[in-house]
Amino acid sequence: MPCQDVVDLDALTGLLALRIERGWSMVRLAQACAHAGHPSLTRSTIAKLESGVRKTLSAAELAGLAQALDRTPDQLLAAAGVLVLWPEEEREALFALLQGAVIKDLVPTYRRIAGTSGPELPAEVDVRDVFLTLETLNAGPLGLPRPVEFVEHLASGLRGELSIELRRWADRQASRLNVINELQQLRRSVSAPPPGPPPGSPAYVVMLIRRVGVAGDQYQLGHWSQLDLSEGWRPERGEDFTGTLDEIKRHVAILVEGVETRWARYQPDIRIEFVLSGELLNLDVDQWPSELDDTPLPPLPLGCRYNVAIRSLERMQTGKWHRSWHMRWRVLVGQLKSGVITRESVRQFASDTGLREMVADLETNPAVVALTLRQPPDSAAQGGDEVFVGLRAGLPCFVWSREDCSSEDFLVAVSEILHGDGPGDILNRVKLLRTAAYRSHAGHVGHHLAVLWDDPDRLVVPADSGPPRGQEA
């Protein structure tokens, strides 16, 4: 061991590496030092040593640290200063998350985290440059690796899914390095409000299902999600999935479980929408399971846990129908301020009403916003034609029974949903009816109730873009 009484701390760059190699927190190291007879090496002292705030170390303190870490003083002085804090794939996963992100005040953020010990950055830098530079520095005053501090500061200045994923990355690294308490302390001290919407804000998962392939037994599922709508509609698209209808149902449950896990801390009002082509409008998507069947509990349908609605793929793709769609949606939103749709704004055509009569009626009554179908959309050509008359006219709301659109139970239920004074908005009343059916008998109208609720301001497929990505000819 060197004979000097005071050691220059510039030579003690391996302390953080040795501590993390053992999986110790700074508190654990301080306890080991006290047990070795050096109580002056407190957590605060160790933090100052690792961060470089303290520039000198006595020979006795050096001996105490070495003893606590089961090293000789010479080995402690010779310890490598560069520590591989995380696997290369974790670093690349972070850079992939940040690709294309607009980061404000990148250089000031670096300077705040690096402090006076940080080297000067070149004139033009990106997130990767800053992160890799911070990897060369000792831990900050809290004992956190400075790259983790950097990611946490980035997360605090961003919103939505990206902020959530950045914090999940920081949590993984902090857990691996046994500094999760230090990360939580930093998180509490960050002055910016936590990212994400207030509890109870609407959040959306949009699923697009279409048939693919020649045999007709394969379907493709595309999906988008958005937690925070405060800056407009910018849903993030996930990976497509192709399989049989049963496999699609299972994958929907997997996606919903994933959203529940990622968004849990924000307590949003999750709303699930299915964008379907005309041939699939009558799928009982609201009755699909909301989670995988891996518990002894009875399966709970999506429509009992969430507000579930159908949307039209054809109209979303057909730009020439959007003007009337926007106009009638504005009328609907105005009426919903009172919680209901007026009876004059809902149509239910008689069984002998021809298509031309329907078209003429809707063209001369722009305040009509909803249509109660007289047949399910796929039960006959007439049912499908009735839907497309309404879609072209811009109606944003359709209601039907997948079993019997003429039953008294169905008609009473529609009246209560659209015009009644029940709790919540219209889609919430639909959810309550489905939940009542869940605890009732198999013939309850709520098992078969379908609602198309289509907001023109939240598209996931551009108008006039042709078939969705990958559609078979």
Residue pair 46/29 in contact by the 8 Å Cβ criterion: yes
Distance, in Å, from the CA atom of 448 to the CA atom of 409, rounded to the nearest integer, reads 11
The two structure tokens encoding residue 161: 């899914």
Model pLDDT, residue 55: 63
Per residue of the chain (473 residues), give pLDDT as tens: 444 455 555 445 556 556 656 667 777 888 888 888 888 888 778 767 765 556 677 878 888 888 888 888 777 766 544 456 788 889 889 989 998 888 888 888 888 888 766 777 766 778 888 888 888 777 777 788 889 999 998 988 887 788 889 999 999 998 888 888 888 888 887 754 555 788 999 999 999 999 998 888 999 999 999 999 988 999 999 999 999 999 999 999 999 999 998 898 889 999 999 999 999 999 999 999 999 877 788 899 999 999 999 999 999 999 999 999 999 999 999 999 888 899 999 999 998 899 999 999 999 999 999 999 999 997 454 557 899 999 999 999 999 999 999 999 999 999 999 998 777 789 999 999 999 999 998 899 999 999 999 999 999 987 765 554 444 43
286-302 per-position pLDDT tens digit: 999 999 877 788 899 99
Backbone angles phi, psi at 399, to 5 degrees: -135, 135
With CA atoms as reference, report the closest residue to 328 among 357, 362, 355, 353: 362
Instruction: Tell me how far apart the alpha carbons of residues 142 and 471 are, in angstroms, rounded to a whole number.
Output: 53
- Residue 239 has what DSSP assignment? -
Q: Can you give the pLDDT at residue 420?
A: 85
CA angle 215, 219, 223 (to 5 degrees): 165
Strand 236-237 relative to strand 269-276, pairing: unpaired
**Confidence at residue 109, expressed as pLDDT on a 0 to 100 scale:** 87
From residue 81, give the alpha-carbon distance in Å to each of 55, 77, 216, 379: 16, 10, 61, 73
Average pLDDT, the chain: 85
Look-up: residue for tokens 């899914």?
Answer: 161
* Closest to 383 measured CA to CA, from 308, 279, 301, 457: 279
pLDDT computed for residue 99 by the predictor: 87
Note the pLDDT of residue 8: 57
C-alpha to C-alpha distances, 54 to 10, 136, 163, 209, nearest whole angstrom? 10, 18, 34, 61
Distances in whole angstroms, Cα of residue 261 to Cα of each of 211, 222, 253, 268, 302: 29, 20, 12, 12, 16
Give strand pairing partners of 201.
none
The DSSP-derived string for 296-310 is: SSPP-BHHHHSEEEE
Q: What are residue 275's DSSP bridge partners?
A: 208, 311
How many CB atoms within 10 Å of residue 266? 18
